[in-house]
Amino acid sequence: GAGVSQSPSNKVTEKGKDVELRCDPISGHTALYWYRQRLGQGLEFLIYFQGNSAPDKSGLPSDRFSAERTGESVSTLTIQRTQQEDSAVYLCASSFTGTGRGQPQHFGDGTRLSIL
């Protein structure tokens, strides 16, 4: 399909382990976003990539969280030394350009992360 693809769809790991989540955006989309969604809650912005510009990391909750994106392709979100509070669904979205002009965001189905 041509949608945003995230992997894995589910991840269960022990507290203290590192995890890496992957997002494949829609081809041609220059903007990529990561969000966190706790159970029953809305979306919490984490980080935003736009082309080759410096990413907006203002939403990352701690230095245990980091993300990378190679050009306008795949992005990985890494959480080091996971804590139980990190349990959530991590959603990735991409858009044709930044959404300052009302461009829609296209979301993947998320990675459900459970920390034991």
Give the separation between CA 94 and CA 108, rounded to whole angstroms.
Answer: 9
Give the separation between CA 67 and CA 47, rounded to whole angstroms.
Answer: 8
Q: Which amino acid is at 57?
A: K
Give the separation between CA 84 and CA 69, rounded to whole angstroms.
Answer: 26
Single residue of 2, 27, 28, 40 touching other proteins by CB under 8 A? 40
Give the separation between CA 97 and CA 32, rounded to whole angstroms.
Answer: 9
Question: Min. distance of Cβ 16 from other proteins in angstroms?
Answer: 28
Query: Counting contacts by CB under 8 A, is residue 104 touching other proteins?
Result: yes
Q: Binding to other proteins (CB under 8 A): which residues in 13-32? A: 31
Query: Counting contacts by CB under 8 A, is residue 109 touching other proteins?
Result: yes
Give the separation between CA 79 and CA 95, rounded to whole angstroms.
Answer: 24
Question: Which range of residues in 12-20, 48-56, 61-69, 75-83 is near other proteins by CB under 8 A?
Answer: 48-56
Contact residues for other proteins (CB under 8 A)?
Answer: 4, 31, 33, 35, 40-43, 45, 48, 50, 56, 91, 93, 98-102, 104-110
